[in-house]
Amino acid sequence: MDDATWQAIICELGLPPQEACVVELILVGRQDAEIAADMNLAVPTIRMYLRRTFDRTATNNRLQLVLRIFGMAQQVVAANPNTA
């Protein structure tokens, strides 16, 4: 996913920077402990960000979140075919 598409998704969802970073790391397959280490935060903090992200995206788990993000990416690209 290109940066413009990702920025459009972040904007549409209203993700704060920390939550957006957590989602990015989830999209590349990181687990909570790895995300915490990458962001220099505690695992409970990562889980709090993840719960907030689930609430913002109307999802209940990582798989639903990933599918929602990829679905949104397809919509962004379809709406802006010249930028793909």
The rounded distance, in Å, linking the Cα atoms of 78 and 76 is 5
Instruction: Report all structural domains of the chain as residue ranges with CATH numbers, in order of start.
Output: 14-83 (1.10.10.10)
pLDDT category of residue 81 using cuts at 50, 70 and 90: confident
- Across the range 55-66, mean pLDDT stands at 96
Of 55, 54, 78, 62, nearest in space to 5 by CA: 78
Q: Give pLDDT tens digits for 11-40.
A: 999 999 999 999 999 999 999 999 999 999
- The pLDDT, as a whole number, for residue 84 is 52
In this prediction, residue 83 carries a pLDDT of 58
Contact between 69 and 9 under an 8 Å Cβ cutoff? The reply is yes
pLDDT value for 21: 97
Rounded Cα gap, residues 58 and 54, in angstroms: 6
